[in-house]
Each structure stands twice: as C-alpha cells, then as structure tokens.
Structure 1
C-alpha cells in the first residue's frame, strides 16, 4: 500500500502521533478484538472526555492526512483535500464543502491562524476547480452545501467573494427548485422527482445566514417557507424527520443523522425570529428522537455505511446539534450524550490520529477516506461550543 506523504506538521503533532504509534491506548482495541466483541454496548471503554487541545490535534491530524496545497490563486494559494489516505484523487464537490465546514468548526473553537488559512485556500481550490456558479451540477443539495460553506466562511473572513458565491448559488437553486408542487419545497435534482430534506434543511440554514449577511429580509422569509414546508410534509410529532417525498407525495426515505441535524439547525436559527412558532420545541423532539431511537443503548450515534456518501453524515449532525445546545442552553440535557460520542470517537482513533465513522472499534491504519473521518473531528470540536 502506498503510504501517504504528510505535509508540514508541528512538533506537537509529530510528537503526539509518534506516541500514539508507539503505544496503544487503554481502550483502543485492535480491529480483531473489537469485531470479536461486537458493537458498542458489549465493549467496556475507559472513555475520558477529550480535552480541548485534543480537539485541535484531531483537526491537525486530519489535515496532515488529506490537505494538499497545489499552487497560487492570485495573491493567495489554493488547495484541496485528497479523497482518501492513499491520495488517489481530490474529494468530490459536496464532501469538500463539508471538509471545509469541519475546518470552520475547528477554527471557531481554537482560533488557530493555520486553520483559517487552510479554509481560505480550500475555498480558493473550489473556485479554481468548479468555478463561481454551479448551475451545471444537477444536484441542488450539492449546490446548497457549497453555498452554506461559503456563507459560514464569510462569517470568519468578511470576504465579499464568499458572500457573493453563497448568495448567487442559493438564488440559482431557489429559482430552479422551489415551486408549489407538494405545497412548496425544493426539488432534490433538476429532474424534479423528489423533494428531500438534504437540500431543504441546509437551504433554510443558509437563507438565515444570508439574511444576517445581507440584511435582505427576503432570505428570512424563504428560510421560514422552507422550514414550514418541512414541518408539514416530513416532520413527525415523535421527532423523526423523514428524508424525502416523491412527486406523487409518497415518503420515500426515513431519517438520517445529517437530515435530523440540519432540521435542528434550521429550527434553532429561526426560533429567535419567530418565537410564536416555537421551532425550538420541535428541535428538542428531533434531538430526543435521534438520541433515543437512532442511537444504541449507550447513546452512540449510528454507523451510516450504506455507501461512501453516507459515511460522514453524523459529522453534520454533530455540527448543528452542538450549535443548538449552545444557542439554547441545553447543556444539562444533552452535553453528556454528545461528550460521550466525542470520547468514543477519539478512543478508537488510529495510529495517525484519524477517526472513522464507526465509533465502537478501532479505526483502520491501512485505509480510511476523507469524508468518514470528518465525523469525529466535527464532534470533538462541536462539544467545545458549550
């Protein structure tokens, strides 16, 4: 197997990785041992909540494995993340956007200048490879994930180009995907066969952030329209958020961690503007459903390994769940659960400090991809919001 050539690493990171390579942590079982004992709940782990320096270290380990700077971009630089530890190619569009969001999460917690630079260079890499307007991408959710990344990056940098990319791509999706079929909602693709939460929930979040950035109240109205449509069509009183509804009005997907998470994020952001709607109580129900009906008996978030697109889902859940806890002061209700997941992810890291999306047995040393390994980093940094 080709061994990745890591980029620059700090003395701290190098020393820590050397330590992790030299001795196995207590509770860090081998793949063989973990698989033999079964899934979480049957393995006793001496989990200790990761300290803040470990959250930064987790992000640095990720960058060491996947970040690649490949040239200049005007007066700046451009970069992308490799898709896997073998460096077989660059991450695809929406996964790269999510990797940048993971860096945004980590910078928010750690205020590390190197992370901010990498956010800008990776953003430049997306501009360089995919251009400024992504109308050729038939997947409206892809475009919205990219727009959401851009507006969150703008919040850190005040770079008008980031704001314009977010605005122009959101507007493009709105114009081609929102209609009155099924009472509203955004179509998942330009084929207009289903309306999915994976585009609608992040679009509602993006629209609130665009309102905050531009002062255009039309974006806040659009965010409310999207959320109200989801409440009518895919939200259930149990807190389960169905994933999609087809053109005939039939529900075609069940809940996923990332759609549960982004629905929570939309409710959290819109609640202060429309308190009479009590969106916050709906977010609580979705949090509770995720914890009580989607996790195992110990509260460990589920593996979502149907295909590679699913493997980073719970990193997105971690982002918006942790923001909700912080914004609405639900630490006493949810902090221990989320901290537990962060501790489990870190306990099963591999010798390079990478965490895959299966937080009940050790991350392999020989192969992981860049999307699945965002999960633990997002969770470890997210819990430091509160």
Structure 2
C-alpha cells in the first residue's frame, strides 16, 4: 500500500516545485525526481484508501509533462508558438485532436494552480495550432477533431479573453454544425464528412462547446443547439436503465460502438452544463447515472478506471473522463458520492509514475522509462488536477 506523504517528503516536494518553477536545468529536475520516486515506482498491492495527491504534486505532474513534451519553435507575431511532441523520443508533433486534448490538460492545470507559466504555454500552444493548421479546419474530414479543437479554443478564451480564440471556436463549431447536423436518424452530428455514423465522440463534446459558446457570446442559438444535440443523444445513444452511452449509430439506425470512458465523460460534462440551463430536464440525474455506470461497470473491483489500449487513439481517453467527471462532481455537489473514487484514481496514477514523473494510462503498474507517448500521459495529469476542483 502507498504510504501517505510524510512531512519530510512534503518539504522535498515543495523544494522540487521551486526548482522546477525557477530553473531551466532539466537534468537536475530528473535527478531530484528520481530520489522522490522510489516508493512511487513500487508495484505493491493498492486499495481505495489511497490518499489524494497534494496540490503541489498536481502542478508538478503538469510540469513533468511539459519537461518531456513541450516545444517552442519560434515567434508568432509579438508572441511565441509551441507544440507538444508526440512521444518522449520527439519524433514529431502530436496530431491534431490529441494536441487539442493536451492543451485542454494544461488548461485543467491552470484552472487549479493559476500558474502564470502555464497560462503562457497555453497561449503559445494555441498559437502553434493556428500556425500548424490555420484558422478554419474545413479540410479535416473528422467532425470530432474539429469540435475537440473548438472546445479547446473556447476553454482557453475563458482565461485569456482573447477574441481570436472565441472566433476560432465559433467559426469551427459553425462549420461542423452546417455540414454535419441533419434530420437523418432524428438529428445528431455525423462523425465524418462521409456521413456514415453519428458518434458520441462528436456529439457530446459539441454540446459542451455549444454551451460555452452561449456563455461567451450570449447567442441563445448555441444553447438551443446544445439541447438539440443532447436530446438526440438521450433518445438514441443513452441507456436510461444503466447510464451507459453507446459510442455510435450507423445510418441504418444500428448501434455500432460500445461505451468508452471519454464518451461517458463528455456526456457527463454536457449533462452538467445543460442542467444549469434546463434544471427541470433531468440532466443532473442522467449525469449521475452515467457516473455510476462508469464507476460500477467499467472499473475493477477497487474502482480503478479501465486501461484503453486498443490503439494509440484510445490511450488518452481517461484524461477526457477525468476532466468532465471532476467538474460535474464539483458543480453538482457530489463530493460525498464520487470524491474518494476519483481521488483513488489520481493517487494510483501518481503512485506508478516513472523516474521523470510521467504517468501512462495503466494505473496499476509502473510507467516505463523507455517509451511513453504524449497522449497516454495526459491521463494522470488531468485526473490529478481535476480532483482539486473539489
């Protein structure tokens, strides 16, 4: 079992945090972290009594991630531009939607730490998206990719008040709505421009994005669109008996994908925001039902979220669940119901970090030092920072 932090280890963390924040010596950072990680590398049995990582550890986890993957590559107007490498070997930049989700992870960390360095990096990474992909992503056939990017932009806008971020979110959301929403299957957004399936991975984050656009612009049409999307998902993909959200429906009206942590998470996030706008529509109860399904039917006996290692696209799904599940728990006052479960997952992710402080998506064994990719290692960072919302 992981032993709770001692006073001495807490002091060591504080000292390391100071080093990470105020020095550029990466080799020193790794050496100091290796000293602290010896017990975190253990593969001993764990239980749900694991303690919540302290707040400085959550910030440290984000800084370790940036040490491994963050890359500034020039100026962008009066500012700078950056991207995240795809892996620790720096073989290239993360692809479009994973990059957007990594930026959301830094937004998560900034939300609870207000660290100015993270805010700067958030802006530089956004500039890197503009530089790498342009302002309107109509050439991307994947509507979910575009929505993930738009959602990242509108979340960043909430902290920067940068009108360019708001416009980028609005214009790309509008483009997807215009090409992907129709009345086939009773509504819903198509996953790609081929119009073969309507998937939770585009519809649920689009509902969240639309609600944030409504908050940012005051345009009620976005709130209306969020509700249209949500009501379609409830009627076609959501199982009211279990709380599971199916992954996709094909053009013939058949369910073609099961549930995943990220589809559960974004549905929960949409329930959270829609409940605040439509408190009598049962969205809060649906969100809780989806939380219960994830906890009771997708986790192991101790409550550990599942590994999703079918392919590299799946490996960061838990970061998306963490983001919206933790926000739902905070906003709807469910700390007594879900906090210990979410804290346990955060603690286990951190328990099995590697010598560089990176956490892969398998929170039951040590993260390898030899190779990890940037997407799988968002999971623990998002969970560790998410639990500090409550």
TM-score, normalized by length of structure 2?
Answer: 0.92
Report 1:173-252 matches (<5 A). Answer: 173-237=176-240, 238-252=242-256
1:310 aligns with 2:314: yes
Cα 1:229–1:46 change in 2 (3 A) is: closer
Cα 1:345–1:53 change in 2 (3 A) is: same
Residue of 52, 56, 59 corresponding to 2:59: 56
Aligned residue in 1 for 2:38: 25
Aligned residue in 2 for 1:102: 105
Cα distance, 1:49 vs structure 2: 1.9
CA contact (8 A) 1:26 1:46 kept: no
Cα distance, 1:278 vs structure 2: 1.3
Residues in 1 aligned to 2:222 and 2:191: alpha-carbon distance in whole angstroms: 19
Residue of 63, 66, 72 corresponding to 1:69: 72
Residues in 1 aligned to 2:275 and 2:112: alpha-carbon distance in whole angstroms: 24
Residues in 1 aligned to 2:233 and 2:186: alpha-carbon distance in whole angstroms: 10
Residues in 2 aligned to 1:268 and 1:164: alpha-carbon distance in whole angstroms: 24
Residues in 1 aligned to 2:168 and 2:57: alpha-carbon distance in whole angstroms: 33
1:276 aligns with 2:258: no
CA contact (8 A) 2:304 2:345 kept: yes
CA contact (8 A) 2:20 2:29 kept: no
CA contact (8 A) 1:304 1:311 kept: yes
**Residue deviations 1:327-374, cap 9 Å, x none?**
011000000000000000000000000000000000000100000000
CA contact (8 A) 2:48 2:344 kept: no
Aligned residue in 2 for 1:5: none
Cα distance, 1:19 vs structure 2: 3.1
Residues in 2 aligned to 1:276 and 1:47: alpha-carbon distance in whole angstroms: 37
Residues in 1 aligned to 2:36 and 2:278: alpha-carbon distance in whole angstroms: 53
CA contact (8 A) 1:20 1:353 kept: yes
Residues in 1 aligned to 2:112 and 2:176: alpha-carbon distance in whole angstroms: 31
Q: Report the secondary structure of 1:271's partner residue.
A: helix
Residue of 163, 170, 175 corresponding to 1:172: 175
Cα 1:99–1:262 change in 2 (3 A) is: same
CA contact (8 A) 2:201 2:263 kept: yes
Cα distance, 1:272 vs structure 2: 1.6
Residues in 2 aligned to 1:191 and 1:131: alpha-carbon distance in whole angstroms: 23
Aligned residue in 2 for 1:4: none
Cα 1:184–1:61 change in 2 (3 A) is: same
Residue of 92, 95, 108 corresponding to 2:95: 92
Q: Report the secondary structure of 1:370's partner residue.
A: coil
Residues in 2 aligned to 1:242 and 1:330: alpha-carbon distance in whole angstroms: 24
**Residue deviations 1:45-92, cap 9 Å, x none?**
984321000000000000000000000000000000000000000000
Which 5+ residue runs of structure 1 have no aligned equivalent? 1-7
Aligned residue in 2 for 1:368: 372
**Residue deviations 1:206-245, cap 9 Å, x none?**
0000000001000000000000000000000210100000
Residues in 2 aligned to 1:24 and 1:123: alpha-carbon distance in whole angstroms: 32
Residues in 2 aligned to 1:299 and 1:67: alpha-carbon distance in whole angstroms: 32
Which 5+ residue runs of structure 2 have no aligned equivalent? 1-18
Aligned residue in 2 for 1:352: 356
Aligned residue in 2 for 1:10: 21
TM-score, normalized by length of structure 1?
Answer: 0.93
1:291 aligns with 2:295: yes
CA contact (8 A) 2:37 2:354 kept: no
Q: Cα RMSD over matched residues?
A: 1.6
Cα 1:23–1:145 change in 2 (3 A) is: closer
Residues in 2 aligned to 1:231 and 1:48: alpha-carbon distance in whole angstroms: 36
Aligned residue in 1 for 2:385: 381
Cα 1:239–1:341 change in 2 (3 A) is: same
